[in-house]
C-alpha cells in the first residue's frame, strides 16, 4: 500500500480504522526520505531510531485504547525548534554541533499528542532569507521544478511536504517564511497571531515578529496541527492567555455573507497581470460561495519593508549575540585570546546574510542612531497596525496575493539583497501588526504554483482555516502533486 500521499487527517483516520500501523507508515516515509531526499535536500537530520521508537510506542498506545487523533501520525520539525537530544542547527555552521538539551514547547506538544517526528528540516540560516539559499547545509530544491527555489526560510518544510516525504511540518514566520514557501510549493501555510503559539525553544531571530506555524497539504491538516500547537505557555512571556477553540470544528461553516476586503495597494501595477488574474479568479470563487467583496486601503503598506528591515536586524543583532563561541555552538580553532575567540568564532560561524543583518542592526541600535532608525521604525509599525485595525471594522477577512512572482531560479536574487527583500512585500506587514495569515494554493503561472493570502483579525485563525477549507472544497489546486510524485 502506498501511504506517502496521505494527508494528516487521512492518516489519523486510517490508523484509527487499523488500515496500517504507525510503524508501517513511518518505515515507508523513512525509506522514501532515504531514496529521494538527495534530490531536494529538505532534511538536515533524519531521526530514524527515535521515529521508529515513537511509532512503536504509538501503536502500543492505540492497541491499549488510549489514542488521540495524533497518535502515530508522522510529521517533522523545522530545524529552528529545539529537540532534546537531537541536533538543532537553525541552518547555521554556528550551531552545526549543537544538540539541544530540551524540547521547544511545540515539540513537546507533538510528542505528548503521540506524533512521530521524522527529523529536522532545512532552512535559511537563522531564518533569514526567502529562498533557502543561505543555509549552511546547502540549498533546498523546489519539487515542482528543481531549478527553482522552494522559498524560504521554511524551504525544507515546504519541499518535504510537497515531495510527499512527510504529510505536515512545523515552520516559523518572521516576515513571510511560512506563507511564501507554501505558495511556491502549492501548499497550505498558516502563520498564527503573534502570541497564539509558544516561542519557547524556537531559536529567536526577531522576537517581536517570530511566530511558529504550519505547512501542510490542506487547511484541515493545518487545523489539526494548530490544535496541538496553540495555547498559553508560562515559559513564553509573550504567549497569550486565551481559550483555544477546536480549529477543526468550524471548517465546514458556511461563508455566505462573509465580507472580504481587497487592499488596493496589494493589487497595484507592481503585480503582473498573470498573478493578479489567478488571485482574482480565486476571489471570484468566494463570491460564488456567497461572500461579498469590498475594496479597502492600507495606506502605509509601502512602509512595511523598510520598517521590517530596521526592526528585524535590530532584534537579530541582540538575539544572536549569545552565539559567542563560549557557551555552546561553533568555536574557532586555537584562539589567541578571548577577543580572537569571539571574533573568529562569529566570523567563521555565521554566513554572509546573517553578518549583514547583525551589522545593520548594531548600527540602527547604536546611541547616535537609535531614535532616527529603531524608534522611527517602531512608530511606523504602529501606523501599519492601525491600518489593519481600521480595515477590520468593515471586513471579516482580507485577501491578497502571497508573493509578487512564482518561484524564481537559483541565483536570480542571490546577489541583490534588496530584490530578495521585496519578495515579502505582501506578507511582512502582518508580522509587524501581529496578525494571522494563511497561504492557500489558488492557481498557476507558467505551470508554477501561485498562492492566495488570507489575512485574519487577531486570534481569528478559525475563520482563516474555515475560509481555506471551503475554498479547497470547490477547487483542486491543493490536490495536484509535482511531476513524478504520485
Ligand atoms: N524573508 C524574510 C527575511 O529574510 C522573512 C524571513 C522569515 O519570515 N523568517 O527576513
pLDDT above 80 for 484: yes
Q: What is the average per-residue pLDDT within 85-110? A: 98
pLDDT above 80 for 166: yes
The pLDDT of residue 431: 98
Mutate to test the pocket of ligand 1, among 174, 305, 317, 430 (most ligand atoms within 8 A of CB): 174
Q: Tell me how far apart the alpha carbons of residues 360 and 342 are, in angstroms, rounded to a whole number.
A: 19
The pLDDT of residue 1: 61
What backbone torsions phi and psi does residue 451 show, to the nearest 5 degrees? Answer: -110, 150
Residue 421, Cα to own-chain centre: how many angstroms?
Answer: 17
Tens of pLDDT, residues 168-210 = 999 999 999 999 999 999 999 999 999 999 999 999 999 999 9
Q: What is the average per-residue pLDDT within 109-135? A: 98
Q: Tell me how far apart the alpha carbons of residues 457 and 436 are, in angstroms, rounded to a whole number.
A: 7
The pLDDT of residue 414: 82
Cell 506587514 belongs to residue: 429
Cell numbers that stand for 353 in this block: 546574510
- Annotated catalytic residues are 78, 153, 177
pLDDT above 80 for 475: yes
CA–centroid distance, residue 132 to ligand 1 (Å): 10
Peptide bond into 26 cis (omega under 30): no
H or E element at residue 142:
none
β-pair partners for 400 = 453
Tens of pLDDT, residues 322-334 = 999 999 999 999 9
Percent of the chain residues topping a pLDDT of 70: 100
Residue 477, Cα to own-chain centre: how many angstroms?
Answer: 20
Residue 459, Cα to own-chain centre: how many angstroms?
Answer: 17
Atom of ligand 1 nearest to the CA of 154: 9
pLDDT above 80 for 486: no
Pocket of ligand 1 (CB under 6 A): 127-130, 153, 173-177, 205, 312, 424
DSSP one-letter code for 211: E
**Mean pLDDT value across the chain:** 97
pLDDT above 80 for 426: yes
Mutate to test the pocket of ligand 1, among 124, 128, 171 (most ligand atoms within 8 A of CB): 128
Tens of pLDDT, residues 371-397 = 999 999 999 999 999 999 999 999 999
Q: Tell me how far apart the alpha carbons of residues 486 and 484 are, in angstroms, rounded to a whole number.
A: 6
CB 431 within 8 A of CB 211: yes
| Residue with CA nearest ligand 1 atom 5 | 175
CA–centroid distance, residue 6 to ligand 1 (Å): 30
**DSSP-derived pairing of the beta strands 448-456 and 437-445:** antiparallel
**DSSP-derived pairing of the beta strands 259-263 and 397-401:** parallel
Q: What is the average per-residue pLDDT within 247-269? A: 96
The pLDDT of residue 289: 98
CA–centroid distance, residue 173 to ligand 1 (Å): 7
The pLDDT of residue 420: 87
β-pair partners for 119 = 46
The pLDDT of residue 229: 98
Q: Tell me how far apart the alpha carbons of residues 376 and 384 are, in angstroms, rounded to a whole number.
A: 13
Percent of the chain residues topping a pLDDT of 90: 95
Q: What is the average per-residue pLDDT within 56-75? A: 97
Atom of ligand 1 nearest to the CA of 309: 10
pLDDT above 80 for 298: yes
28-37's contacts with Cβ under 8 Å and 24+ in sequence apart are 28/2, 28/3, 28/4, 29/3, 29/4, 29/74, 29/118, 29/165, 29/166, 30/118, 32/4, 32/164, 32/165, 33/118, 33/119, 33/160, 33/165, 33/166, 36/163, 36/165, 37/160, 37/163, 37/165
CA–centroid distance, residue 458 to ligand 1 (Å): 21
Amino acid at each position: 500500500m502506498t501511504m506517502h500521499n496521505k494527508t494528516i487527517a487521512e492518516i489519523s483516520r486510517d490508523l484509527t480504522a487499523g488500515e496500517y500501523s504507525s510503524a508501517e507508515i513511518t518505515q515507508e516515509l523513512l525509506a522514501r526520505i532515504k531514496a529521494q531526499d538527495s534530490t531536494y535536500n529538505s532534511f538536515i537530520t533524519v531521526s530514524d531510531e527515535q521515529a521508529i521508537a515513537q511509532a512503536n510506542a504509538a501503536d502500543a498506545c492505540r492497541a491499549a485504547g488510549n489514542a488521540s487523533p495524533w497518535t502515530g501520525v508522522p510529521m517533522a520539525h523545522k530545524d529552528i525548534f529545539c529537540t532534546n537530544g537531537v541536533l538543532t542547527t537553525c541552518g547555521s555552521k554556528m550551531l552545526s554541533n549543537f544538540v539541544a538539551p530540551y524540547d521547544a514547547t511545540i515539540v513537546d506538544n507533538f510528542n505528548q499528542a503521540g506524533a512521530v517526528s521524522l527529523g529536522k528540516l532545512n532552512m535559511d540560516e537563522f531564518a533569514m532569507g526567502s529562498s533557502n539559499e543561505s543555509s549552511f547545509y546547502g540549498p533546498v530544491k523546489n519539487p515542482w521544478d528543481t531549478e527553482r527555489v522552494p522559498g524560504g526560510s521554511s524551504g525544507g518544510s515546504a519541499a518535504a511536504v510537497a515531495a510527499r516525504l512527510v504529510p505536515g511540518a512545523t515552520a516559523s514566520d518572521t516576515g513571510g517564511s511560512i506563507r511564501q514557501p507554501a505558495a511556491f510549493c502549492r501548499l497550505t501555510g498558516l502563520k498564527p497571531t503573534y502570541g497564539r503559539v509558544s516561542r519557547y525553544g524556537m531559536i529567536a531571530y526577531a522576537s517581536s515578529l517570530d511566530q511558529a506555524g504550519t505547512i501542510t497539504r490542506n487547511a484541515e491538516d493545518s487545523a489539526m496541527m494548530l490544535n496541538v500547537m496553540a495555547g498559553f505557555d508560562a515559559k513564553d512571556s509573550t504567549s497569550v492567555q486565551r481559550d483555544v477553540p477546536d480549529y477543526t470544528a468550524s471548517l465546514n461553516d458556511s461563508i455566505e455573507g462573509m465580507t472580504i476586503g481587497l487592499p488596493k495597494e496589494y493589487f497595484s501595477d507592481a503585480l503582473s497581470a498573470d498573478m493578479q488574474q489567478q488571485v482574482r479568479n480565486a476571489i471570484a470563487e468566494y463570491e460564488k460561495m456567497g461572500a461579498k467583496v469590498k475594496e479597502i486601503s492600507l495606506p502605509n503598506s509601502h512602509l512595511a519593508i523598510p520598517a521590517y528591515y530596521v526592526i528585524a536586524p535590530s532584534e537579530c543583532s541582540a538575539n544572536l549575540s549569545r552565539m559567542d563561541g563560549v557557551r555552546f555552538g561553533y568555536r574557532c580553532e586555537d584562539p589567541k585570546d578571548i577577543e580572537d575567540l569571539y571574533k573568529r568564532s562569529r566570523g567563521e560561524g555565521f554566513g554572509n546574510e546573517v553578518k549583514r543583518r547583525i551589522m545593520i542592526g548594531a548600527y540602527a541600535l547604536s546611541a547616535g542612531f537609535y531614535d532616527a532608525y529603531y524608534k522611527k521604525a517602531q512608530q511606523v509599525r504602529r501606523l501599519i497596525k492601525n491600518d489593519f485595525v481600521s480595515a477590520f471594522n468593515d471586513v471579516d477577512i482580507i485577501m491578497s496575493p502571497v508573493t509578487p512572482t512564482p518561484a524564481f531560479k537559483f541565483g536570480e536574487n542571490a546577489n541583490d539583497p534588496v530584490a530578495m527583500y521585496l519578495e515579502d512585500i505582501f506578507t511582512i506587514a502582518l508580522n509587524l501588526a501581529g496578525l494571522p495569515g494563511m497561504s492557500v494554493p489558488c492557481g498557476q503561472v507558467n505551470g508554477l504554483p501561485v498562492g492566495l493570502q488570507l489575512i485574519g483579525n487577531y486570534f481569528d485563525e478559525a475563520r482563516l482555516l474555515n475560509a481555506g477549507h471551503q475554498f479547497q472544497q470547490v477547487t483542486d489546486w491543493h490536490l495536484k502533486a509535482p511531476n513524478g510524485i504520485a
